[in-house]
Structure 1
Amino acid sequence: MSLAPRAVLVHRRTEYEELLARHGTHGQAAFFLTSRGRSIDEVVRRHDRNQRALREVAAAVPLTWRGSRVERADLDRFLFAPEDVVVVVGQDGLVANTAKYLGGQPVVGIDTDPGRNPGVLVRHRSADTAALLRAATTGGGRTDELTMVEAVADDTQRLRALNEIYLGAPGHQTARYRLGSGGGEPGAVEGEGEGEAESQASSGVLVGTGTGATGWLRSLWLDRGSPGGLPGPGDPRLLWFVREAWPSPTTGTTKVAGELGRGQELRLTVESDRIVVFGDGMEADALELTWGQSVRVGIAATSLHLVT
């Protein structure tokens, strides 16, 4: 007999909860904000809206289903199951934080603060939860397949991200490495032959998807004046940029930007003591590579299944 679906509610601590954890009481938190020209009233109202949305989402889960909750800080220790339906309650960024730990489970994004969040990934209200859960398990709804990026190290460490993956030195200082591309048709690399690796010193490499094209990736794209267009969220295409490559007698700057399609990859071999690889800003959950190790970055085989 197959298991009943499990609704996994993903949330994060509100600003009010973080203030209480730091200052101990409502009064002390209010004094702290007042001393900085802010009022705690709006913070409390946002907290109340978040808690109300969580209650409404939990109440919409069918009685025959199983249920679970996980806070953002615990995502890297939570075991998602194939039969899960993941309900992200919060901001767009929380969907991205969750996506890297999934393996194709349907995701429902619930916006707890309409008008304050862009609503790119959290597209629904808590009142829609029951209908969305039915659609996720009966095939009655539409699902957007959002391209993800994946890094695979030579020691089998693996990391996925929805927006972008960053490779560089801890603290964003100068990283030294060899960079090359390959696999399938060559990537659109600026400079000399794409298959040849180049030694570089830079403040890191960013590889991003169409979903990440509204954030960090877009800022680099605009800064470089790249002639090609940014990918869309479902496009099987990645863009990559080297940040502040430094020319020297032993390091070059001919490979600083490019595009990757399916079957193509960017290869980086470490030539310094330590390089970290993290996705979607979650630097605390990173791969760590040391001298001589290599990592391949390309389109992930798994995409994010966002219920619409």
Structure 2
Amino acid sequence: MSLAPRAVFVHRTTEYEALLARHGTHGQAAFFLSSRGRGIEDVRERHERNRRALAEVAAAVPLQWRQARVERADLDRFLFGPEDVVVVVGQDGLVANVAKYLDGQPVIGIDTDPGRNAGVLVRHRAADARALLAAVDRTGADELTMVEAVTDDTQRLLALNEIYLGPPGHQTARYTLTVENPEPATEPQASSGVLVGTGTGATGWLRSLWQQSASALPLPVPTDPRLAWFVREAWPSPTTGTTRVEGVLSAGQSLHLTVESDRLVAFGDGMESDALELTWGQTVRVGVARTALRLVG
């Protein structure tokens, strides 16, 4: 007999909860904020809205389903199952945080603070949860393209927005970049890193690089099976070039980076704590991921 579906609620510690954990009491947290010209009531109200939304969505789960909750900080230790329906309760960024740990499970984004969130990925309100959960198998879902990095020792990293490859601090990254376009083209480079992103990420960090470089590249949209990539602050020298600093990768194409520094890192969607460590001589390949994020309408 197959398992009943499990609703997995993904949430994160609110600012109010973090303040209480740091300062001990509401009064001490209020004093801390007031000393910096801020009030605590707005912070607490956002916390209450978040908790109410989480409770309302949990109450909407069909009785025969199972339930689980996971906080953002624990995502890398949580085991998602194929029968899970993932309900993200919070901000758009929380959807990106959980996407790398999924393999085709449907995701429902619940916006806990309409007006403050862009609502690009958390598209629904808590009041919609009952109908969405009851019809999740029949509701259309967007297949959002993801980006993956795979090292030559088979480590794999997934991201919904972008993957950054570069130095962990403010040093210069040295590497050899190989681009399939369509024939391989190679260039030694020194830069502050390489960013490879999806159409979902094209509204954030990727777009800032695109604008900064006055690029004419057509950025992908979230469902396009294409990626855009940019080299940050490439440095010309007798041994390093700057001719290959941007491009587009279609499905099946990839960008190869061979490390020529003591240590580089690769991390996705801003989660530096969950990074791949890259050492001298190691090669990493970046391209369109085999899996996509199924975001319910």
Provide TM-score, normalisation by structure 1: 0.95
Asked whether the equivalents of residues 172 and 204 of structure 1 are also in contact (C-alpha less than 8 Å), the reply is no
Matched residue of 1:230: which SS?
Answer: coil
Asked whether the equivalents of residues 265 and 277 of structure 2 are also in contact (C-alpha less than 8 Å), the reply is yes
Instruction: Report the CA distance between 1:248 and its aligned residue.
Output: 1.0
State the partner residue of 1:119.
Answer: 119
Asked whether the equivalents of residues 111 and 125 of structure 1 are also in contact (C-alpha less than 8 Å), the reply is yes
Q: Could you tell me how far apart the structure 1 residues matched to 2:246 and 2:226 are?
A: 14
Asked whether the equivalents of residues 7 and 68 of structure 1 are also in contact (C-alpha less than 8 Å), the reply is yes
State the partner residue of 1:149.
Answer: 147
Asked whether the equivalents of residues 88 and 108 of structure 2 are also in contact (C-alpha less than 8 Å), the reply is yes
Please list every run of at least 4 consecutive aligned residues from structure 1 whose deviation after the TM superposition is greater than 4 angstroms.
none
The one-letter code matched in structure 1 to 2:72 is R
Asked whether the equivalents of residues 177 and 200 of structure 1 are also in contact (C-alpha less than 8 Å), the reply is yes
State the partner residue of 1:199.
Answer: 188
Give unmatched runs, 5+ long, in structure 1: 188-193
Matched residue of 1:284: which SS?
Answer: helix
Moved more, 173-182 or 43-52: 173-182
Q: Could you tell me how far apart the structure 1 residues matched to 2:163 and 2:93 are?
A: 14
Matched residue of 1:244: which SS?
Answer: coil
Q: Deviations over 1:271-296 (max 9, x none)?
A: 01111000000000010010011000
Matched residue of 1:259: which SS?
Answer: strand
The one-letter code matched in structure 2 to 1:240 is W
Q: What's the C-alpha RMSD, in Å, of the aligned pairs?
A: 0.9
The one-letter code matched in structure 1 to 2:108 is V
Instruction: Report the CA distance between 1:196 and its aligned residue.
Output: 2.6
Aligned pair count?
Answer: 297
Which structure 2 residues correspond to residues 1-308 of structure 1 after superposition, within 5 A? 1-136=1-136, 139-182=137-180, 186=181, 195-308=184-297
Q: Could you tell me how far apart the structure 2 residues matched to 1:41 and 1:162 are?
A: 34
Q: Could you tell me how far apart the structure 2 residues matched to 1:256 and 1:106 are?
A: 36
Instruction: Report the CA distance between 1:175 and its aligned residue.
Output: 0.7
The one-letter code matched in structure 1 to 2:205 is W
Asked whether the equivalents of residues 46 and 113 of structure 2 are also in contact (C-alpha less than 8 Å), the reply is yes
State percent identity of aligned pairs: 77
Asked whether the equivalents of residues 277 and 286 of structure 1 are also in contact (C-alpha less than 8 Å), the reply is yes
Asked whether the equivalents of residues 164 and 195 of structure 2 are also in contact (C-alpha less than 8 Å), the reply is yes
State the partner residue of 1:191.
Answer: none
Matched residue of 1:206: which SS?
Answer: strand
Q: Deviations over 1:141-181 (max 9, x none)?
A: 11011000000001110001000000001124211111011
Moved more, 115-124 or 166-175: 166-175
Instruction: Report the CA distance between 1:109 and its aligned residue.
Output: 0.1
Structure with higher strand content:
2
Matched residue of 1:302: which SS?
Answer: strand
Matched residue of 1:197: which SS?
Answer: strand
Matched residue of 1:114: which SS?
Answer: coil
The one-letter code matched in structure 2 to 1:208 is G
Instruction: Report the CA distance between 1:199 and its aligned residue.
Output: 1.0
Asked whether the equivalents of residues 159 and 287 of structure 1 are also in contact (C-alpha less than 8 Å), the reply is yes
The one-letter code matched in structure 2 to 1:67 is Q
